[in-house]
Amino acid sequence: MERAPLLDGHGRRIADLRVSVTDRCNFRCQYCMPAEGLPWLEHERILRFEEIARLVALLASMGVHDVRLTGGEPLVRRDFPALVAMLAALPDVRDLSITTNGYLLERDAQALVKAGAMRFNVSIDSLQRDRFYALTRRDALDQVLRGLRLLAGFPQIGPIKINAVAIRGFTEDEVPAFVELARSSAYEVRFIEFMPLDADHAWTPEQVLSGAQLHALIDALHPLEPLEREPSATARVYRFADGQGRIGLINPVSEPFCGDCNRIRLTADGKLRTCLFSLAETDLRGPLRAGADDAELEQIIRDAVWRKELKHHIGERGFIQPARTMSAIGG
């Protein structure tokens, strides 16, 4: 059943859904969570696969056709490929992608591609083993790279994007290796400005390595040419002037792209978030498990999305960091 488009109160048409399937993660990245981890959600609070599929189907019928599965680390969710298959079978889901740290790709890449995953973003913050360990607290770079190469062997998947969080004092030294990777492979390397979503709430603006600064570093190595930005895209994408490879810069702190944001998020425990930095969220799990029909759920969703924030307020006086971390919200 096709429904009216999902619009917010600022006239933006919502078309992109990020679904966190778990808050658990097998890494302990310093910009996300403490070394000892975080208290995980209890099993009964996590949405079941059938519940996720029902909500995704409902949202897709309202024009939310792009679905990205995240965590935590989504591949640690038991039988995760089965969920991918359920969502890939929904007629209104047109783009189904996964964001992963890549640690379990060796085990799961084939099953996920077979299940219907169309695109992958793999988070890799350093291409040097010791520095990868320092940031993630896991000696896992070699395993992640093996999984990445395995994934690249499936021609129907692409482009594969590599995400690196840009942190001042760390990422500058990583730029040359990432540039060479982008130029020597089909991967699109993307740098994401460090955002205030860390569990320790220790983020400061001084830690942000901006997109403009990264552009200057990369352009000095190999000149860049901008590509046209697609409406609602998070990344500013560039190609190298000689045609060898592409780089993406995602600049939510220095150059917010809120004006044409078309994204909403569903947390692992069934809360609808209309912005990554929302201070409020709307419960969908409760009404779902209480027997709400699709019409009732649709109205709850529409009311929540109508109140979607015009923008985040990073860098403004009075900014309040959300209580949930990135691992609990879903990227």
pLDDT at 240: 97
pLDDT tens readout for residues 27-80: 998 888 888 888 899 999 999 999 999 999 999 999 999 999 999 999 999 999
Q: Where does the pLDDT of residue 331 fall: very low under 50, low under 70, confident under 90, or very high at 90 and above?
A: low
Please state the rounded mean pLDDT for residues 112-133. Answer: 97
The full set of domain ranges for the chain reads: 16-329
pLDDT at 279: 85
Q: Which of 243, 248, 193, 184 is nearest to 218 (CA)?
A: 248
pLDDT at 312: 82
pLDDT at 181: 97
Q: pTM for the whole thing?
A: 0.95
Query: Is the Cβ–Cβ distance between 240 and 222 less than 8 Å?
Result: yes
Please state the rounded mean pLDDT for residues 127-153. Answer: 96
pLDDT at 255: 85
pLDDT tens readout for residues 265-277: 999 999 999 988 8
Residues 6+ apart with CB under 8 A from 16: 64, 66, 68, 232, 262, 263, 264
Q: Where does the pLDDT of residue 129 fall: very low under 50, low under 70, confident under 90, or very high at 90 and above?
A: very high
pLDDT tens readout for residues 294-323: 999 999 999 999 999 988 877 777 777 777
pLDDT at 151: 96
pLDDT at 322: 79
Please state the rounded mean pLDDT for residues 9-31. Answer: 94
Q: Where are the alpha helices (DSSP H) in the chain?
A: 49-60, 80-88, 105-115, 129-136, 141-152, 175-184, 211-221, 285-289, 294-306, 326-329
Q: Count how many residues are written for the chain.
A: 331
Q: Which of 153, 77, 69 is nearest to 109 (CA)?
A: 153
pLDDT at 248: 97
pLDDT at 317: 76
Q: Which of 233, 305, 235 is nearest to 274 (CA)?
A: 305
pLDDT at 276: 86
**Number of H helices and number of E strands within the chain?**
10, 12
pLDDT at 158: 83
What's the 3-state SS for 230-245? CCCCCCEEEEECCCCC
pLDDT tens readout for residues 201-210: 777 889 999 9
What class does CATH assign to 16-329?
alpha beta
pLDDT tens readout for residues 170-211: 999 999 999 999 999 999 999 999 887 777 777 788 999 999
Q: Has residue 123 got a pLDDT over 70?
A: yes
pLDDT at 293: 98
Q: What is the mean pLDDT of the chain?
A: 93
Please give the structure tokens belonging to residue 324: 């949930």
- Determine how many CB atoms are found less than 10 A away from the CB of residue 112: 27
- For strands 95-100 and 188-193, give the pairing: unpaired
Query: Is the Cβ–Cβ distance between 297 and 58 less than 8 Å?
Result: yes
Q: How far apart are the first and last CA of the chain?
A: 29
% of the chain beyond a pLDDT of 90: 77
% of the chain beyond a pLDDT of 70: 99
